[in-house]
Amino acid sequence: MASNKIQFRSIHELKDQSLNAKLAQKEFQNEIPVDEFLGDAEKMNNSGTSRRDFLKLLGFSTAAVTLAACEAPVIKTIPYVVKPHDIIPGIPNYYASSYFDGFDFASVLVKTREGRPIKIEPNPTAGSLGKTNARAQASVLSLYDNDKLKQPKLNGADESFDKVDDYVIKGLNDAQAAGKKIVLLSHTLPSPTFKKLFGEFKAKYPSAELVTYEAYPHAAALDAAVEVFGQRALPVYDLSKSELVVSFRADFLADYNAGSLETSYAEARKPGANMLRHIQVESNMSLTGANADSRIRLKPSAVNKTLVEVYNGLNGGTNDKVAQEIVKELQAKGSKAVVFADGSKAAYVLAHLINQKLGSVAFTGKANMLKDFDGAKFNELVASMNANQVGVLITNNVNPISTSANGEAFKTAMSKVTCTVAVVDKKNEVFKASKAIIPVAHWLESWGDIAPETGSYSLMQPTIQKIYKSRQIEESLLVWINGKGSPANDFYTYLKASAASLLGGTSFNKALYNGFTAAAVGSSLSYAGGNAAQAISELNAFKASDLELQLYLNTAIGDGTQANNPWLQELPDPITRLSWDNYLTISPKDAERLKIENELNGRMQLDGSVVDLTVNGKELKNVPVFIQPGQAEGSLGLALGYGKKDSGKVAETGVNAYPLFDGSNTVLSNVSIKITGDEHEFAGMQLQNTLMGRYEIAKEATITEFLGDVNEWNKPLEMHTIGGALPIGKIDLWDSFDDTDGPHFNLSVDLNSCTGCGACVIACQAENNVPVVGKEEVRMSRDMYWLRIDRYYTSKLPKEFDTVKQDGKLSQQEAVDGGLDVPGMYSMLIEPSENPDVIFQPVMCQHCNHAPCETVCPVAATSHGKQGQNQMAYNRCIGTRYCANNCPYKVRRFNWFTYNLNDKFDFNQNNDLGRMVLNPDVVVRTRGVMEKCSMCIQMTQNVILEAKKEGRRVVDGEFQTACSKACSTGAMKFGDMNDVNSEVRALFGDKRKYTLLEEIGTKPNVFYHAKIRNRKENNV
């Protein structure tokens, strides 16, 4: 029987069924009149040229042009005339130093190549103080910031240091003679040598005062410490021996008490009978809250109330049900429990008093000395300037005009000071308000010392000559004390003499080599007071309102010190997965109530509503709004540190929220928003929020399940064959490689230890010359990261469908029993729950032993190495992108453009200074090339070569990748599987181990460990 079906290959052919015949007629045409149509624009545009003719034209008529275009530029290198003794071209040098930029601290190792710092590494001798976050890793790029000040200035004109010093010394002498104050306004400098030096400065100029100012000053924590401990220093905690932590708003895995507790937290979270349990009570979905076992979301006023009730419950009783449950757990754990709080001085005081009552072992008695801001002294300074009592104001790399709630008042007061000196790095508001300008030296160009906490001493040394005419504050003080040209003005000599009194029997050179040593610095803390009644009264006095605001610090930008660092601007927020922005976070229910929208456009790009935000009468205009799952109803969140004016090309990104911040309280009421009607374009790197039922991708289990039968939660995958069920690893289409000769590399990723901080992402970017592409390209899903950290929420699953295991997951059986069809099932699973669990999963090239990318590359640009790495030959790649299409893990990146020396991408790789950060061991890729994680082959080969030269075997732990080296929690472990004693081989046999998409048979060399949640109930 004849068929009446119409067969077509395109919509166009369906509309015009003669199209195929017309195209066939055009396949072979007469010789094309090249000269005629090339000389006539109209004919050229209207020509019906076939593909064959086009290739003919390209091959013959334009051959010369094509060859000329392929001619590579000649770049000449200049050899050393006299080679420096300590530099061997091609061999890196490492220097121990201290990263401190006024906000963050870490004892670090600085990798240099031919005199250029190119990478920041953790310093293992410093323990937890030697761990690096994303900002520490990215700080090397800030050294090569092309927007930095390059020259001293006086009254707006370029000038020499000699003339500037004349002006300052005259101003100091005039102020001293007139009996006016000389004030040095600086961020905290926890340097024993600086404090000694300022003492000498004050001896020279008795009216001199040191006033501390911070953009994010930890004032509430410091004021509470004065009340409870009697000292203006922050307590140091260690969670490694704790079994319960209860946090009220405290983001202690990010920026809490001037540090992070990631390392000891991860140590205590190792799955087992005594695994640390984590309860988080908060409004915003914070990084710490995302890692919690149980997260209780409340608006800020309710968080205050719950904290009060927990204190009452421990000291008598409470009727609050949430507080009762928390109190039971605290009492059960006793000294192995600890409570943290944030948001106000009163919250800190109550937390300290609770810990005192528990006798918490997490309280070490050590003092963190990285912050000592005193709001009363700062306010006194402003009053003194207004009263014309200040003759000289020296600001050391701080900007109260931009980062203070009363910035305009400070600017007005500053105009009344006769002599104003700004030690600054950008042409910001303080620069404009000052008469004398001294460019501040970067920490990688400076000498110094830091006493970060009790008993710890760290030295800072320059790893490069000053790039511009800059000077650190200590060098300036020496000149102003001793006069110009004095031999006593050498700060290195001064530092060496000062450090001798702290190092005891340790030589300065040895301490400098190690970078970190024990020393008799700082004092211990002990409980000495604390007014609970007053704290409770203050917390209860917080006025609840329909909407309340929680200010917070973004993981990447922090307080904004490095806001002009494009690596940090592009690093996506671990929770929202958005980059190049700050925004107001709001709960889905409040968004629906207030008619605020987030929508995906036709290109799968996220657009959102824009509002004007008013807080206690202060208005911020044009603030984008992001609808955040897990945000408490009635609460809003907004990150500080963005929107810095005149501070570089990328620093103006976002909205400056500092005018809302009083320097102490991060929770605010009396909040209102007004929709403007505009739309904001977000740059999102992950718009798929849930696992959509694919629970095998990011596995998790409860502690009860973990301690039980492994087959209940991590059963080895089997495949049914004609011969019966076989383990998936036994079924293969391919012959296996012989990987027993030499090293065979594997990478272990522990989802239980990964907090999502992003340090590994920046470390990978720095090590492998990954370019910044900018907001527009990120919106186009063209980011170039070799390593990403996926974030998944649990789905919004109605209880009537969660009938079998009641674990918050929808099984196929439950879907069938509930009568769900496929569209109905996925429309349900795509929505995150109102208070979702969160899981972070780092994903990079899995270096598959049976890699799908290798079989489809037409030019063999990607191939498998004997050591287990999937390798890329960039000069063979022709950019077909078949490999990316065939990669099930979606980890390959295509260079849509040349991202270096391209004005469209005006970031660090577009100028000579910014390109100094590039790692010469890794080629800079060009347009049309595919790239991806190489498992840092340049690092592994270097280790092998060094061991070979020394005639020894590689020791376990020597093999590292950039990500494994940067990880503060030990979530990533890299090593040789052929070393039977290696840690990675032991981890391969752990019962939590699994591989991504094991069922497709790619046999990755990256494996994961399931996340374990410490709670008895399956769904909280």
Domain CATH number, residue 557: 2.40.40.20
Please check whether residues 900 and 864 belong to one and the same domain.
yes
Domain boundary, last residue among 368, 401, 426: 368
Please check whether residues 910 and 846 belong to one and the same domain.
yes
Confidence category of residue 393, pLDDT binned at 50, 70, 90: very high
Locate tokens 């718009």: which residue?
687
Q: What is the pLDDT of residue 697?
A: 87
Asked if the structure places residue 964 within a domain, the reply is yes
Please check whether residues 265 and 352 belong to one and the same domain.
yes
Q: Which residues pair with residue 450 across a beta bridge?
A: 458
* Closest alpha carbon to 981 in 945, 957, 948: 957
Q: Is the pLDDT of residue 938 over 50?
A: yes
Asked if the structure places residue 449 within a domain, the reply is no
Please check whether residues 771 and 674 belong to one and the same domain.
no
Distances (CA, A) of 233 to 252, 463, 561, 763: 17, 31, 22, 31
* Closest alpha carbon to 704 in 275, 267, 269, 331: 275
Question: Mean of the pLDDT values across residues 644-671?
Answer: 92
Torsion of CA 443, 447, 451, 457, to 10 degrees: 120
Mean pLDDT comparison of 40-54, 599-613, 745-759, highest-scoring range: 745-759
Confidence category of residue 48, pLDDT binned at 50, 70, 90: low
Q: Which residues pair with residue 458 across a beta bridge?
A: 450, 516
Please check whether residues 592 and 717 belong to one and the same domain.
no
Contact status, residue 174 vs residue 418, Cβ threshold 8 Å: yes
Q: What is the pLDDT of residue 1019?
A: 41
Q: What is the CATH number for 937?
A: 3.30.70.20
Q: Is the pLDDT of residue 57 over 70?
A: no
Please check whether residues 675 and 706 belong to one and the same domain.
no
- The tally of CA atoms less than 13 A away on the side-chain side of residue 357 is 19
Q: Is the pLDDT of residue 15 over 60?
A: no
* Closest alpha carbon to 251 in 233, 230, 265: 265
Range(s) of the domain holding residue 247: 230-368
Largest CA-CA distance found in the chain, in angstroms, rounded: 113
- The tally of CA atoms less than 13 A away on the side-chain side of residue 272 is 8
Q: Is the pLDDT of residue 952 over 50?
A: yes
Asked if the structure places residue 143 within a domain, the reply is no
- The tally of CA atoms less than 13 A away on the side-chain side of residue 592 is 5
DSSP letter at 786?
Answer: S
N- to C-terminal Cα distance for the chain? 63
Q: What is the pLDDT of residue 732?
A: 82
Contact status, residue 260 vs residue 250, Cβ threshold 8 Å: no
**DSSP for 171-239?**
HHHHHHHHT-EEEEEES----HHHHHHHHHHHHHSTTEEEEE--SS--HHHHHHHHHHHSSSSEEEE--
Please check whether residues 318 and 343 belong to one and the same domain.
yes
Asked if the structure places residue 147 within a domain, the reply is no
Contact status, residue 335 vs residue 360, Cβ threshold 8 Å: yes
Q: What is the pTM of this model?
A: 0.90
- Beta carbons within 8 Å of 245's beta carbon, 6+ residues apart: 239, 252, 265, 276, 277, 278, 279, 337, 338, 339, 340, 362
Asked if the structure places residue 374 within a domain, the reply is no
Contact status, residue 670 vs residue 545, Cβ threshold 8 Å: yes
pLDDT digits (tens, 9 = 90+) for 349-386: 999 999 999 999 999 999 999 999 999 999 999 999 99
Q: What is the CATH number for 281?
A: 3.40.228.10
Reduce the DSSP state of residue 687 to 3 states and report it: coil
Strands 419-424, 390-396: pairing is parallel
Contact status, residue 668 vs residue 551, Cβ threshold 8 Å: yes
Q: What is the pLDDT of residue 216?
A: 93
Q: What is the pLDDT of residue 487?
A: 92
Please check whether residues 789 and 887 belong to one and the same domain.
yes
What tokens does 579 get?
Answer: 């980059």
Higher pLDDT, 610 or 825: 610
pLDDT digits (tens, 9 = 90+) for 562-619: 999 999 999 999 999 999 999 999 999 999 999 999 998 878 889 999 999 999 999 9
* Closest alpha carbon to 621 in 661, 578, 670, 660: 660
What tokens does 958 get?
Answer: 């020597």
Please check whether residues 653 and 723 belong to one and the same domain.
no
Domain boundary, last residue among 368, 385, 417: 368
pLDDT digits (tens, 9 = 90+) for 76-134: 777 788 888 888 888 999 999 999 999 999 999 999 999 999 999 999 999 999 999 99
Q: What is the pLDDT of residue 794?
A: 86
- Beta carbons within 8 Å of 741's beta carbon, 6+ residues apart: 866
Dihedral pair phi/psi, residue 919, rounded to 5°: -85, 115
Please check whether residues 960 and 839 belong to one and the same domain.
yes
Domain boundary, last residue among 51, 69, 87: 69
Strands 1006-1009, 745-750: pairing is parallel
Distances (CA, A) of 250 to 247, 351, 540, 753, 945: 6, 11, 19, 19, 46
- Number of structural domains in the chain: 4
Asked if the structure places residue 92 within a domain, the reply is no
* Closest alpha carbon to 172 in 419, 434, 485: 419
* Closest alpha carbon to 223 in 356, 368, 372: 372
Higher pLDDT, 541 or 1: 541
Pairs from 957-963 (Cβ < 8 Å, separation ≥ 24): 957/983, 959/743, 959/745, 960/936, 961/747, 961/935, 961/936, 962/119, 962/760, 962/763, 962/764, 962/766, 962/767, 962/768, 962/936, 963/760, 963/761, 963/763, 963/764, 963/787, 963/842, 963/844
* pLDDT-wise least confident of 307-311, 453-457, 741-745, 823-827: 823-827
Strands 548-553, 635-640: pairing is parallel
pLDDT digits (tens, 9 = 90+) for 682-717: 999 888 887 777 888 889 999 998 998 898 888 888
Measured at the alpha carbon of residue 866, what is the angle toward residues 864 and 870, in degrees to the nearest 5? Answer: 30
Confidence category of residue 899, pLDDT binned at 50, 70, 90: very high
What tokens does 136 get?
Answer: 């520490």
State the Cα–Cα distance between residues 114 and 917, nearest whole angstrom: 11
What tokens does 653 get?
Answer: 């990104």
Asked if the structure places residue 97 within a domain, the reply is no
* pLDDT-wise least confident of 26-30, 608-612, 640-644: 26-30
Please check whether residues 676 and 705 belong to one and the same domain.
no
Asked if the structure places residue 41 within a domain, the reply is yes
* Closest alpha carbon to 364 in 77, 569, 639, 129: 129
Please check whether residues 236 and 268 belong to one and the same domain.
yes
